[in-house]
Structure 1
């Protein structure tokens, strides 16, 4: 049996495979969607499907979304929703879900070859779904774009939400793709339903974000004003600063890794999502880091959830950063940012984008903050031996 899981359940399965130690992900070299080779009753009654997928779709969606190669292969049964994907697949369309407990990572899981959409196809599929909401007037194009930005930052970042709606987030993972890889995939998908919306969102996806709130902060800084940001671009997220060349021994750290650093301004930002007890323990380290940044000529902002929890908090944070830019001698840039913050039309856009981004993690934000110290062991996604996928399993 072959199952290509898509839709909300596909997102949930991808998240589970990133987080669970018994699951892994590997590139799939399939050139087309494989046949299911089973009836709907066999799919829904299969023990492997019940074990792997049923807990996810019960929490995420009333039906399991699967891809089939043609309309003739649609399976009409309660609990399954078929999406027809005809023709040849683009490279890097699918990922294989692997059982890491077996010596052969290309072995079926309980007799089922299980695949999920890779990041590019996942964003394209979600964009197609959101397009329908936009067309029916149930969602604005701006909110749809913001949702895709958030999902893209997660897929290209080192964190993953836990499946379900009860919160939780894992950290320290390997990114599944880069934003340039996603953009290249979507460029090759030109003309497909949802491609235009997905391509627009992909332009703003950030690489290497370490947490949901870090993604929100980065997007609200770097996005162009028409998507809620203030066009303050920065280098790579979490890029280490080498401080080893310190002949006078003035610095307490040999290296530091701010979440965001504006090299041209000498301003660094760090998001601290720890709970109150961890914050108390980190106060001394915060003080030492601030002193080191000051010694090297940087202004450091240590931000917390209350600095991003709503539009007024965000705009107050952005205004503080603008004032620091002014103090660094870049008055023209600072005034540009402040004018954007004072513009009522831009405020409305910013509120909608921030609201959409927070909505994706609103039920999770408190959990992320509480569980910042819980790290998921970094695991390399499995690489399948050879260049071919195994044949269909029975």
Structure 2
């Protein structure tokens, strides 16, 4: 089997979620001696697969013995007949910017391509959430049963995913990925912030507000005349609607410290002076149907949106609420 090997689909998804990958990858690429031997020429596919499994295991990915390793190949002629690998035809060659080098002779598709590939197995809402994760500053901890996540730099962006879709328009999943990307925004810092954004941008038919003109963690500069009122040169708003000058924030703290509450009060006062209308949504709003319904009605009022009054919309909104919080670790996150 020829190398390099490019991990894709589920195998790449698992690699992109391993907490220990950076240290393992750094060691693999800087070690003067190839620690895994994946790149050795003339190696049988069985042995390459075994060596890749060793690498993945050190990263924290434990593939079941019968589980094939997903790999990307340019054309159907490049498929391998090995029972240890499952070949996925990309259709065109991947550029170096679309891949992540993880070990000698071993790459993984980057976040943009993996988003497209994920459209072949993820449900629509799950795919959109994955887009927020890839383009955001957090990643889910797959080893925790419910709601664990950790901070990290964005793995891709909406712009890069758009470019990948343009480069690979016929890749399986491209059409669904293109539709999902319309609801993805860059810069989310947590699954809860993502949930709030989705409650705003998703169509009314799906229980959202149907308002797409938002940016996440938008910085508002403090003008000179107000700099004496706050220490920072700017304020960040979780979700900002620039066309309406409206901000929406998620607050998961059940009992904030006095110092934090004081800071938040000062912040809201200054944003008010700047003409920004603010609404804070808490974890408790998400936990109860009526509270969530009223909270989203208030956001809609600030955005000057008219929502359906039919029972079907309220049912769809509640279904969305339940779906958005399905993986939350606790009510106080």
- Tell me which interval the TM-score lies in, with the shorter structure as reference length: 0.7 to 0.9
What's the C-alpha RMSD, in Å, of the aligned pairs? 3.5
Q: 2: CA distance between counterparts of 1:162 and 1:367?
A: 18
What SS is found at the alignment partner of 1:193? coil
**1:302 and 2:280 are equivalent in the alignment:** yes
Q: Which residue of 1 aligns with 2:17?
A: 15
Q: Quick one: which of 362, 366, 379 aligns to 2:330?
A: 366
* Secondary structure in structure 2 of the residue aligned to 1:240: strand
Deviation at 1:300, TM superposition (A): 2.6
Gaps of 5+ in 2: 27-38
SS state at 2:62 partner:
helix
- Count of residue correspondences: 315
* Partner Cα separation in structure 2 for residue 185 and residue 368 of structure 1: 38
> How far off its partner does 1:13 sit?
0.9
Match of 1:124 among 116, 129, 135: 116
Does the CA contact (< 8 Å) of 1:149 and 1:201 recur in 2?
A: yes
Give the corresponding residue for 1:286.
264
The change in CA–CA distance for 1:353 and 1:49 in structure 2 (over 3 A counts) is same
Q: 2:195 aligns with which of 213, 216, 227?
A: 216
Once the two structures are superposed, residues 260-308 of structure 1 have per-residue CA deviations (whole angstroms, 9 ceiling, x without a partner) of 12344443222233474x5555222122222222333333323322223
Question: Counterparts of 2:300 and 2:129 in 1: how far apart (Å)?
Answer: 25
Q: Residues 94-133 of structure 1: matches in 2 within 5 Å?
A: 94-98=98-102, 109=103, 112-130=104-122
- Number of the residue aligned with 1:228: 207
Question: Residues 174-224 of structure 1: CA distance to partner in whole angstroms, max 9, x if unpaired?
Answer: 322221321232244334332221111011111111211111211221223
CA shift in 2, pair 1:213/1:68, >3 Å: closer
- Distance (Å, rounded) in 2 between the aligned partners of 1:9 and 1:368: 33
Residues 240-277 of structure 1: CA distance to partner in whole angstroms, max 9, x if unpaired? 1111321694556542111112344443222233474x
Q: Distance in 2 between matches of 1:344 and 1:323?
A: 19
Q: Is contact 1:187-1:199 (8 Å) kept?
A: no
TM-score, normalising length: structure 2:
0.78
Q: Normalising to structure 1: TM-score of the pair?
A: 0.67
